[in-house]
Structure 1
Amino acid sequence: MSTGERPDTEVPAELRTLANDPLHGDDRLREYFGDSYPRVLAFAELLADQGVLRGLIGPRELTRIWERHILNSAAVVPFLGEGTIVDVGSGAGLPGIVVAAMLPERQVVLVEPMERRTTWLFEAAERCGIDNAIVVRGRAEEVRESVEADVITARAVASIDKIVKWCAPLLSPTGTMALLKGRSAPLEIESAKYVLRRAGLVGEVHDAHTLDGVDPTTVVTLTRAAH
């Protein structure tokens, strides 16, 4: 989801570049992303150039796009199981566009209610050579008749209890969720325990690592409870 609001002033072009990011050019990025690196790089460059201007990220995030946004999004990929992935509240395309770039063999549905952000998602997928992403405009509770997910992911959308209420109807019978959360994830799971129980889901918190020296990302997986 997006992390900033539309700014009042434009950012100078010389600041809208990955050259200011300390991780840019690090050989470990190419190794980590492998064959998907060109697509991921194209998206990172586009986000640096257009993200602030289009109200998708804040100006202070221009120097940490790789760590704060791209690697943070990529950390969820090992938890995405199999089948169709649905990114709810996709916003800037985090993690949805990154996931689609990294998993070209998977269908990734980007669900986003705001028109200007769906326009961005269409453009980003096209310009970055990502042809496995489908953009759907609407809220999760509005698209349940047309969208079914084997895996749901979301970043900075809402608390776990709200995400489950909104998104559980989208899940296939064996579907799971993999949510990018903060350090309060264990407390969120505890607060959502009754909602999780009604939905037949069990929560688990994971520290997801990417590169050495980069803080791990907190991923919460919600899986079907054993009967």
Structure 2
Amino acid sequence: MKLATELQQGLQALPLHLPPLTQTQLLNYLELLAQWNQVYNLTAIRDLAEMIPKHVLDSLAILPYVQGNTLVDVGTGAGLPGLLLAIACPQWQCLLLDSNAKKIRFVKQAILELQINNAQAICTRVEAFNPPIGFNTVITRAYANLHHFYSTTKHLGIPGGYLLAMKGVYPATEIAQLAQLPVQLKCLPIQVPQLPAQRHVVLMGPL
């Protein structure tokens, strides 16, 4: 009950209005993650209450910046942020990529158990992945520095699409390395409820 209250308060602060069943699905995801984490070490965060701001609210805080209704999450890990975005936005189509087999096994199991019909997980290196149709938004939370992210994932975006990178403190050095980028770049601060640490979102595009 306490976890449900903390999640609800965090969502209200974003603000993000999700149906009760969706909120339950988010909590079920955390419980499943905690179970698998005991064996597979999917995340360094062990406490469920700590996962709410650091995983759930952090992932959902970028919702206003996601373009279109198709996205690919590069280096999704345990499904962050892509799987949580898929839960929150069932009208989207979300593809989750990671080269770590054990993490993709967890994501596939979560998709199955939580009945997330708009998400798919693939174990592959992004450089080797060439989908027949690109995505509106290419997103990453902890994949690589901005230059590497742009150079290895730009082929996944459709013309007019965006690359979106989640960062902590303002990535001044990484942004300076992208001075000659052939697309527009914006770095915006975001506020994550219950999380005092700095967070930023970097938008590159339109492609």
Which TM bucket (shorter chain)? 0.7 to 0.9
Structure 1: runs of 5 or more not aligned:
1-17
Compared with structure 1, are the counterparts of its residues 188 and 125 closer, same or farther at alpha carbon in structure 2 (3 Å cutoff)? same
Q: Residue in 2 aligned with 1:14? A: none
How do 1:69-218 residues align onto structure 2 when only pairs under 5 Å count?
69-146=55-132, 148-194=134-180, 197=181, 200-211=182-193, 213-215=194-196, 217-218=199-200
Counterpart of 1:57 in structure 2: which amino acid? T
Q: Does 1:68 align with 2:54?
A: yes
- Residue 26 of structure 2 aligns to a residue in which SS? helix
Q: Secondary structure at the match of 2:205?
A: strand
TM-score by length of 1: 0.79
- Secondary structure in structure 2 of the residue aligned to 1:67: helix
2:18 is matched by which residue type in structure 1?
G
CA distance in structure 2 between the partners assigned to 1:76 and 1:164 by the alignment: 18
Alignment coverage as a number of residue pairs: 200
Are 1:39 and 1:129, in contact at CA under 8 Å, matched by a contact in 2?
Answer: no
**Shift of the alpha carbon at 1:144?**
1.9
Q: What does the per-residue CA deviation read over 1:14-65, in whole Å, with 9 as the maximum and x for residues that have no partner?
A: xxxx97xxx6532414644512312212112222232242121125555511
1:53-93: CA deviation from partner (whole Å, max 9, x where unpaired): 21211255555111111111111111101131000011110
**Offset at residue 224 of structure 1 (A):** 2.3
Aligned-residue sequence identity (percent) comes to 23
Task: Tell me how far apart the structure 1 counterparts of residues 132 and 106 of structure 2 sit (CA, whole Å).
Answer: 22
CA distance in 1, matches of 2:169, 2:163: 18
- TM-score of the aligned structures, taking structure 2 as reference length: 0.86
Cα deviation for residue 145 of structure 1 reads: 4.0
